[in-house]
Amino acid sequence: MSFEKEIKRRRTFAIISHPDAGKTTLTEKLLLFGGAIHVAGAVKSNKIKKTATSDFMEIERQRGISVATSVMGFEYKGVKINILDTPGHQDFAEDTFRTLTAADSVIVVVDVAKGVEPQTEKLVSVCRMRDIPIIVFINKLDRDGKDPFELLDDIEDKLGITVRPLSWPIGMGKSLKGVYYIPDKQLNFYDSDDKQHKEEPVKVSKLDVEHLQKYIGSGTEALLDELELVNTVYPEFNLEDYRAAKISPVFFGSALHNFGVQELLDCFIDIAPTPRDVETVQRHIEPTEEKFTGFVFKIHANMDPNHRDRIAFVRICSGKFERNKNYLHVRNGKFMKFSNPTAFMAEKKSIIDEAYAGDIVGLHDTGNFIIGDTLTEGEKLKFVGIPNFAPELFRYIENADPMKSKQLGKGVDQLMDEGVAQLFVHQFNGRKIIGTVGALQFEVIEYRLKHEYNATCRYEPIQLHKACWIRSENKAQLDDFKKRKYQYMAKDKHDRDVFLSDTSYGLQMAQQNFKDIEFFFTSEF
């Protein structure tokens, strides 16, 4: 297959939602259709010792939530699909924000009963900012929920997107009969007894009461009225508008019962964008350029705790990546070669010889990479839009076992590189401070230090409002600021100056009184 055809058959997308909307379950069912797995995990059941394929960390299995982005690739109908299953919990939103930089499109999962929830709003606002095409999947149709039109209004109002239903539910909850798939004029039936299709889908040549009644009985007239309203109220689906993020197709189904998922997947491979152009500080990059470029959007320590391995996830932006070929690590200025680049099925890895624009590859890392690093064939480029956010929750971290100080140091060092939290060293007392954007992160860090590094830590409180990075061309003013604010100054892992503000008023006054100092609330500067 030609180089350009390989790139054009790739689809890389992220699945995002509020926690418990069924995102990880949908990921599993997509993998089932792709033949990538043969049995789905019982995500919700604590009695059954199966778990979602994409939730591979021990803490995820225990809590039944995703706390890290998983990367999975599979083939379906000649298309290479890369799924990024992201955490829904707001305490892990930073991981999701960064993952969106590696996605060409997204599927947003909405709970039919709860509608649009706050975390979904935040994540979709990032997609809109970046013009990422969105498909909406309204999940849990086997349960009673909101009226479909009410849901669509909710989606348009809260998410700020224009929608167009491509499938329509026939009933809901106990009265669910199936879904009418609009583009193919097809009825897909649902059976509540065996949780599968009752019979083969039926093509409907004409939409009239007499013709439909023999298939769906009562409710036929209501369906026809609703379909007429859909065609009147919502704009026609247009591929160019979807890819320009101006319209979002909507599907209804139940991921848990594998209903409506295949229609979503079949439509997705037809309409989803191939790898998109990417911006760097220096220039615009097209995926079909011959030379390889890529950036690190995620680092994961201990994917296999037995081997203490650390993986840098690289999104390939252009060209072809080849095993054992020298590539320039732009920040370090060194050429590196990778003998074991890997592709993923959650934690299962396979060594690959080559990968193309749109693919995600994992590179074994001994501490060379940080999030946002660029790899090229020699050109000096820096990709934009991969930030670390200023943390808002802080605790001192202390070693709870003096015999394990080395393990604790290594564990904290590696976990901070993942970007889930940040480490600051207080200039005033030399103590280490962990800063996060969500409280659950502290639990995850403590758990992973204990189970992955055999180190125990304890936290002590510290009252801070926000951490922000500072810099200035006016050296005298910067030195004066650091002297006056000595007890509030810290260094981050990369030896950059950080101001630890104890109140919002203190931060405001610092910004007013020191005009020549720039204050940054993301690390991308």
* Greatest mean pLDDT range, 131-135, 363-367, 451-455: 131-135
Query: What CA–CA distances, in Å, run from 493 to 302, 408, 412, 429, 490?
Result: 20, 16, 11, 17, 10
Spatial CA neighbour of 294 closest among 322, 319, 314, 274: 314
Instruction: Give the whole-angstrom CA distance, residue 461 versus residue 425.
Output: 15
Q: Given 3.40.50.300, 3.30.470.30, 3.30.70.3280, 3.40.50.720, which CATH number is that of 393-520?
A: 3.30.70.3280
| Per-domain boundaries in the chain | 3-71+105-271, 278-376, 393-520
- In this prediction the pTM is 0.76
pLDDT of 66 strictly over 70 = no
The proportion of the chain whose per-residue pLDDT surpasses 70, expressed as a percent, equals 82
By the 8 A CB rule, do 435 and 422 touch? yes
- What tens digit of pLDDT does each residue of 309-358 get? 678 889 999 999 999 999 999 999 999 999 988 887 544 567 889 999 99
Reported as a pLDDT band with limits 50, 70 and 90, residue 90 is low
User: What class does CATH assign to 3-71+105-271?
Assistant: alpha beta
**CATH fold of 278-376:** Rossmann fold (3.40.50)
Residue with tokens 């995600």, as numbered in its chain: 360
Instruction: Give the whole-angstrom CA distance, residue 274 versus residue 296.
Output: 20
* DSSP string of 7-44, one letter each residue: HHTEEEEEEEESTTSSHHHHHHHHHHHTTS-SS---SS
Choose between 347 and 433: higher pLDDT: 433
Instruction: Give the whole-angstrom CA distance, residue 294 versus residue 401.
Output: 41
Residue with tokens 């020191």, as numbered in its chain: 514
Residue with tokens 């040549």, as numbered in its chain: 205
Backbone angles phi, psi at 84, to 5 degrees: -110, 105
Number of Cβ within 10 Å of residue 251's Cβ equals 25
pLDDT of 106 strictly over 50 = yes
Mean pLDDT of the chain: 83
Residues, the chain, total? 525
Range with the lowest mean pLDDT among 53-62, 146-155, 358-367, 397-406? 53-62
What does the pLDDT read at residue 122? 77
pLDDT of 192 strictly over 80 = no
What does the pLDDT read at residue 386? 63
- What tens digit of pLDDT does each residue of 193-246 get? 554 444 567 776 666 666 677 677 777 788 888 989 999 999 999 999 999 999
Instruction: Give the whole-angstrom CA distance, residue 231 versus residue 236.
Output: 8
Choose between 71 and 331: higher pLDDT: 331
Reported as a pLDDT band with limits 50, 70 and 90, residue 287 is very high
Burial of 25 (C-beta count, 10 Å sphere; 0-12/13-18/19+): buried
Range with the lowest mean pLDDT among 17-21, 188-192, 387-391, 438-442? 387-391
Spatial CA neighbour of 117 closest among 43, 233, 17: 17
Instruction: Give the whole-angstrom CA distance, residue 269 versus residue 80.
Output: 9
Choose between 432 and 37: higher pLDDT: 432
What does the pLDDT read at residue 480? 94
What does the pLDDT read at residue 397? 93
Instruction: Give the whole-angstrom CA distance, residue 43 versus residue 170.
Output: 27
What does the pLDDT read at residue 67? 38
| Paired strand residues for 481 | none
- What tens digit of pLDDT does each residue of 464-485 get? 998 999 999 999 999 999 999 9
Same-fold call for 3-71+105-271 versus 393-520: no
Spatial CA neighbour of 29 closest among 40, 21, 18: 40
Instruction: Give the whole-angstrom CA distance, residue 373 versus residue 525.
Output: 14
Spatial CA neighbour of 458 closest among 414, 408, 417: 408
Sequence-separated (6 or more) residues with CB below 8 Å from residue 58: 447, 451
Spatial CA neighbour of 294 closest among 217, 219, 386: 386
* Greatest mean pLDDT range, 10-19, 108-117, 176-185, 299-308: 108-117
Reported as a pLDDT band with limits 50, 70 and 90, residue 35 is low
Spatial CA neighbour of 326 closest among 292, 368, 297: 292
Number of Cβ within 10 Å of residue 405's Cβ equals 11
What does the pLDDT read at residue 345? 59
Burial of 133 (C-beta count, 10 Å sphere; 0-12/13-18/19+): buried
Signed CA dihedral, 188, 221, 164, 239: sign only:
positive
Range with the lowest mean pLDDT among 157-171, 240-254, 511-525? 511-525
Residue with tokens 């050109």, as numbered in its chain: 379
Contacts by residues 427-430 (CB-CB < 8 Å, ≥ 24 positions apart): 427/486, 427/489, 427/490, 427/491, 428/486, 428/487, 428/488, 428/489
Query: Which run of H or of E encompasses 312?
Result: strand 310-318
What does the pLDDT read at residue 197? 46
What does the pLDDT read at residue 119? 76
Helix residue ranges per DSSP H, 237-294: 239-243, 261-271
What does the pLDDT read at residue 64? 45
What does the pLDDT read at residue 127? 84
* Greatest mean pLDDT range, 21-25, 366-370, 506-510: 506-510
- What tens digit of pLDDT does each residue of 352-389 get? 899 999 999 989 888 788 888 999 999 999 887 666 66
What does the pLDDT read at residue 510? 93
